[in-house]
Chain A
């Protein structure tokens, strides 16, 4: 039997072409038992009011495009269970905090990706490539677990106060996790340059281990731990 449920939403709306300033819109949407995730409800909502704008793509927590601020906490709409919301309170949806708004729930990620690119997120190895692939021992490969899985949804960086205050100078948790992913890679030959690149009071040391990043990561990753390992390597290099 199909059971239906009506969900109340409070959604951040802003269309810079039409609106003087952002406002919160109350909308209700009916979902049925086959709608499991918040994204399913948003897709239904789009059918009710097609002016609402949000990003989405893979709908299974891999592409990282539907990151939102859900009831004050960053997360992916496609991984958030509708069952986790109580009936008596509206679901408050806002765009990721700290980034410029393009429209409604869509933010401008330029600054976020600029920081990501600044850490050179690719393998640097000047040896001629072997016939098949650059090999690693299983133990060395193990080091990359918990690092390579990042989907760049920006939930972490946009929940980090240090990134809010200095998005142009602080690399942010996502960028630093990616930085450590290459620092930890035994096939990479640019470890020293990577550490040099990060040794800066702003780029790395704006992290005050607030750990909002760990709290919100939809993939369960731990940027704070990676940042700690970068600092460890810097200390070992210096003493």
Chain B
């Protein structure tokens, strides 16, 4: 194969946009949790559990986890793209990152739904 630098993958906009949107979702979730903590929800295990087990919190904390993983996927892949040049190593790192994030997302979902 000739060694030519080729670019023009025709993607990137969705990832960039997703990174911004997931950032907003995470910021909003953080705000909700901070307000809840200021109101003393974290005073006991029971009150914290009751707070996190409500239908709305299950919904938004799941959204938060999905956002976190998606955001991390774009961000971590950006790091590999910036600093890792050999294509084989880069692909391997991408795959490992993706697998780890999917695993974490599943694990986190199990924890939320166990409540």
Contacts and interface: CB of A to CB of B under 8 A. Distances in A.
A108 interface: no
Q: Which secondary structure dominates where chain A touches chain B?
A: loop
Interface in A186-212: 196-197, 199-206, 208
A196 B13 CA distance: 11
Given A165-B82, A165-B83, A200 B10 contact: yes
B5 A168 contact: yes
Interface in B13-40: 13-17
Contacts of B86: none
Given A166-B82, A206-B82, A201 B15 contact: yes
A151 interface: no
Interface stretch (A59-67, A74-82, A215-223, A230-238): A230-238
A235 B13 CA distance: 7
Interface string B69-90: 0000000001001110000000
B82 A238 contact: no
Interface residues of A, number: 21
B57 to A, nearest CB: 30
24 contacts: A162-B82, A165-B83, A166-B81, A168-B5, A169-B5, A169-B7, A196-B10, A199-B11, A199-B12, A200-B8, A200-B10, A200-B12, A201-B9, A201-B11, A202-B7, A203-B7, A203-B8, A205-B12, A205-B13, A206-B81, A231-B16, A235-B17, A238-B13, A238-B14
